[in-house]
C-alpha cells in the first residue's frame, strides 16, 4: 500500500544547497513515489526537527557550514538511534565513507552517482524501517492479545482462540506495505479476512478483488495492468487495470496458486520493483495499492515441485496467515448456526425458526469439506423449506448423507482402519455392538436421538439396545 503520504514516516533531506535539495526531492517523488519529505538547509535546525518526532530517515550532506555532516551523524546516532541516516556527499573519499559507516550511517552515496543507485539505497532503508516497525507492532499486539478494532471483524462469526489470534496478527500487520498471504481451504473465510485487513489498513481507496484462476498470461497482464489504445487488435480505447483501480487501496488476488509461471514473473516485478507497464506503453507506472493474495493450494509444495517461483513465494509470505478449516473449530458451530439462521430468515422473509436440540452436536460429527460456505448453504436450504416453528433436522441429515455419499472421481478411496487390529481374539458381536453404541453416545454428547442417527437406527431401537446392555452387565 502506498497511501497519499508515503512512507508513513517522514524523510528529512539536509543540504545547504537549495538546488540540490529540490532536485533530490523531485527525483525521490517521481521515480520512487516517496513524497513524505521534509527539507532543511541549515544543519543547526536538524536536531530540533528530530526532537519534534515523525522522522524515520535522514539523507545528510557532509560539507555544510555551522554543523558538519559527521557531527550531525554522531548526534543522531547518540540521541535518535532508531532513525536511519544515509550520507549523500560530494566527497568521493574511501576513508570518509568508512568513517561514516562506523559512526552508524546506513549507506553512503556520492552526489555524482546515478540516480537509480541513490533511489535504490533510499528504498532499501525505507523497507528496513518498515519491517522493524512491523516487528515491533506485531510483538506488542501479540503479547497483549487484545483487539483494538474488533469492529473490523464484525462479519466473521467466531469465538475460536486460533481465529482470535489471527485477528490480533492482522491488526498488527494491516498497515504494513508488504504483501499478505492468506492460505486455507475453500470456504474457510479467506476473503472476509482480506476485507478486514483492508478495513484495518485505513487506506482511502477501495478493495479491488481479482480471481486469477484460469487467466492466461495475456489476460492476466491486461486485467492487472490495463492497456493503451492500439496495444493489440481490438484495443480501441484506453483501459485502466485493476492495479490502478485499487490506487490508495488494496488489490486482492484470489487463487494465486493457479498463476502460470509467466504471470508469476509479472507479479514478482510488480512487488519487487513497485512498478508496472500497461500493455502498449513504455512508461512505467508505480503501484499505489497494498497487495493481498490468497490460495487454497499448498504453495510450499508447488514451489518444491517447480510449479511456483521460489523468489515470488518468499516475497508473498512476508506476512502470512493460515485460516483453520471449520472441522478444527467446531466450537463455532452453534454461533454460526444462529448467525446463518438469522441471515437466511431475513433474506427469505421468514420468521427465524428454532433449531432442533442436538443439531449442533449432529453437525459436529461431519467434517465439512466445504467449510463455513457449506454450512451456510445447508442452513439456507433448511430455512427455505421450513414450515413449522421448529426447524427440521431432516434437511441437514440428508445434506450430510449426500455429501458423504459423494466420492470425488480423482480421489482414491481412504482405506478403513480395523479397530480390532492387534487383538489376539476378535470380540463377539455383542461386544462389538456395545463398543459402537458407546462410541456413538460419546460423539453425540449423550443425545440418544443423535447417536441413533449415527448408528443408522431409531432412538427406540437404541434405547432397547442400552437396556439389554445394562441387563447383561447386571
Q: Which three cell numbers stand for residue 243?
A: 492495479
**189, 232 contact by CB (below 8 A):** no
407 vs 72 pLDDT, higher one: 72
Q: What are the pLDDT digits (tens) for 17-62?
A: 999 999 999 999 988 889 999 999 999 999 999 999 999 999 999 9
Band of the pLDDT at 233, cuts 50, 70, 90?
Answer: confident
What residue ranges do the domains of the chain occupy? 10-135, 146-324, 335-405, 429-473
Backbone angles phi and psi of 16, in degrees to 5? -85, 5
**C-beta of residue 43 within 8 angstroms of C-beta of residue 65:** yes
- CATH topology of 10-135 equal to that of 146-324? yes
* CATH architecture type of domain 429-473: Orthogonal Bundle (1.10)
Read off the pLDDT of each residue in 5-26 and give the average, rounded to a whole number: 93
Phi, psi of 59 (to 5 degrees): -105, 120
Q: So what's the pLDDT on residue 142? A: 62
pLDDT at residue 412 tops 50: no
146-324 homologous superfamily: P-loop containing nucleotide triphosphate hydrolases (3.40.50.300)
Q: Given this model, what pLDDT does residue 4 score?
A: 62
Q: How far apart are CA 175 and CA 84, in angstroms?
A: 20
Average pLDDT, the chain: 88
**Closest listed residue to residue 68, CA positions, set 90, 51, 49, 83:** 90
Q: Supply the angle between the helices 459-473 and 429-443 in degrees, to the nearest 10.
A: 120
CATH of 335-405, one of 1.10.8.60, 3.30.1440.10, 2.30.40.10, 2.130.10.10: 1.10.8.60
- pTM, whole model, 2 decimals? 0.69
Written as nine digits, the cell of 128 is 528496513
pLDDT at 298 over 60: yes
Question: How far, in Å, are 33, 36, 86, 148, 228 from residue 6 at the CA level?
Answer: 7, 5, 18, 24, 28
Contact 289, 248 (CB under 8 A): yes
- What is the three-class DSSP state of 108? strand
| Average pLDDT of the residues in 423-450 | 76
User: What percent of the chain shows pLDDT beyond 90?
Assistant: 57
Element (H, E) at 416: none
Burial of residue 206 (number of CB atoms within 10 Å: 0-12, 13-18, 19+): middle
Averaged pLDDT for residues 458-466: 82
- The residue count of the chain comes to 474
Convert the pLDDT of each residue in 335-382 to its tens digit. Answer: 999 999 999 999 999 999 999 888 888 899 899 999 999 999 999 999
Give Cα 125 to chain centroid, integer Å: 24
**Which one is the CATH code of 10-135: 3.40.50.2300, 3.40.50.300, 2.60.40.1180, 3.90.1310.10?**
3.40.50.2300
Judged against a pLDDT cut of 90, whether residue 284 lies above it is answered with: no
The pLDDT score that the predictor gives to residue 347 is: 94
Task: Between 447 and 231, name the one with better pLDDT.
Answer: 231
Amino acid at each position: 500500500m502506498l497511501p497519499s503520504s508515503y512512507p508513513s514516516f517522514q524523510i528529512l533531506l539536509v543540504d545547504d544547497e537549495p538546488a540540490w535539495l529540490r532536485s533530490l526531492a523531485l527525483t525521490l517523488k517521481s521515480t520512487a513515489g516517496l513524497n513524505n519529505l521534509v527539507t532543511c538547509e541549515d544543519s543547526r535546525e536538524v536536531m530540533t526537527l528530530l526532537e519534534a518526532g515523525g522522522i524515520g530517515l535522514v539523507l545528510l550532506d557532509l560539507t555544510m557550514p555551522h554543523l558538519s555532516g559527521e557531527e550531525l551523524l554522531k548526534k543522531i546516532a547518540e540521541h535518535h538511534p532508531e532513525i536511519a541516516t544515509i550520507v549523500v556527499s560530494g566527497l568521493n573519499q574511501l576513508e570518509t565513507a568508512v568513517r561514516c559507516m562506523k559512526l552508524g550511517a546506513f549507506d553512503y552515496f556520492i552526489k555524482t552517482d546515478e540516480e537509480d543507485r541513490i533511489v535504490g539505497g533510499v528504498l532499501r532503508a525505507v523497507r528496513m524501517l518498515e519491517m522493524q516497525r512491523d516487528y515491533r507492532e506485531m510483538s506488542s499486539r501479540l503479547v497483549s492479545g487484545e483487539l483494538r478494532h474488533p469492529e473490523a471483524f464484525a462479519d466473521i462469526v467466531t469465538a475460536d482462540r486460533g481465529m482470535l489470534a489471527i485477528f490480533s496478527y492482522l491488526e498488527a500487520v494491516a498497515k504494513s506495505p508488504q504483501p499478505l498471504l492468506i492460505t486455507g481451504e475453500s470456504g474457510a473465510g479467506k476473503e472476509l479476512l482480506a476485507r478486514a485487513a483492508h478495513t484495518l489498513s485505513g487506506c482511502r481507496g477501495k478493495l479491488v478483488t481479482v480471481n486469477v484462476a484460469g487467466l492466461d498470461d495475456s489476460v492476466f497482464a491486461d486485467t492487472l495492468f490495463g492497456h493503451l489504445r492500439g496495444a493489440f487488435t481490438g484495443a480501441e480505447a484506453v483501459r485502466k487495470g485493476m492495479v490502478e483501480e485499487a490506487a490508495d487501496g488494496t488489490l486482492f488476488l484470489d487463487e494465486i496458486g493457479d498463476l502460470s509461471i509467466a504471470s508469476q514473473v509479472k507479479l514478482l516485478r510488480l512487488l519487487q520493483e513497485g512498478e508496472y507497464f500497461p500493455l502498449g506503453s513504455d512508461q512505467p507506472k508505480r503501484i499505489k495499492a497494498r497487495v493481498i493474495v490468497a490460495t487454497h493450494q499448498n504453495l510450499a509444495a508447488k514451489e518444491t515441485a517447480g510449479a511456483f517461483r521460489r523468489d515470488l513465494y518468499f516475497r508473498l509470505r512476508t506476512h502470512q496467515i493460515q485460516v483453520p478449516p471449520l472441522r478444527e473449530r467446531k466450537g463455532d458451530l452453534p454461533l454460526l448456526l444462529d448467525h446463518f439462521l438469522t441471515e437466511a430468515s431475513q433474506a427469505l422473509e421468514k420468521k427465524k425458526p428454532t433449531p432442533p436440540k442436538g443439531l449442533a452436536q449432529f453437525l459436529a460429527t461431519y467434517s465439512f469439506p466445504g467449510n463455513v460456505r457449506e454450512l451456510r448453504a445447508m442452513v439456507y436450504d433448511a430455512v427455505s423449506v421450513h414450515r413449522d416453528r421448529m426447524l427440521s433436522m431432516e434437511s441437514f441429515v440428508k445434506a450430510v448423507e449426500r455429501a458423504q455419499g459423494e466420492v470425488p472421481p480423482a480421489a482414491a478411496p481412504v482405506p478403513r482402519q480395523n479397530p480390532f487390529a492387534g487383538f489376539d481374539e476378535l470380540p463377539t458381536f455383542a461386544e462389538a455392538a456395545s463398543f459402537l453404541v458407546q462410541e456413538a453416545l460419546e460423539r453425540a454428547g449423550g443425545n440418544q436421538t443423535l447417536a441413533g442417527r449415527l448408528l443408522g437406527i431409531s432412538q427406540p431401537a437404541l434405547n432397547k439396545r442400552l437396556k439389554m446392555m445394562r441387563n447383561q452387565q447386571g
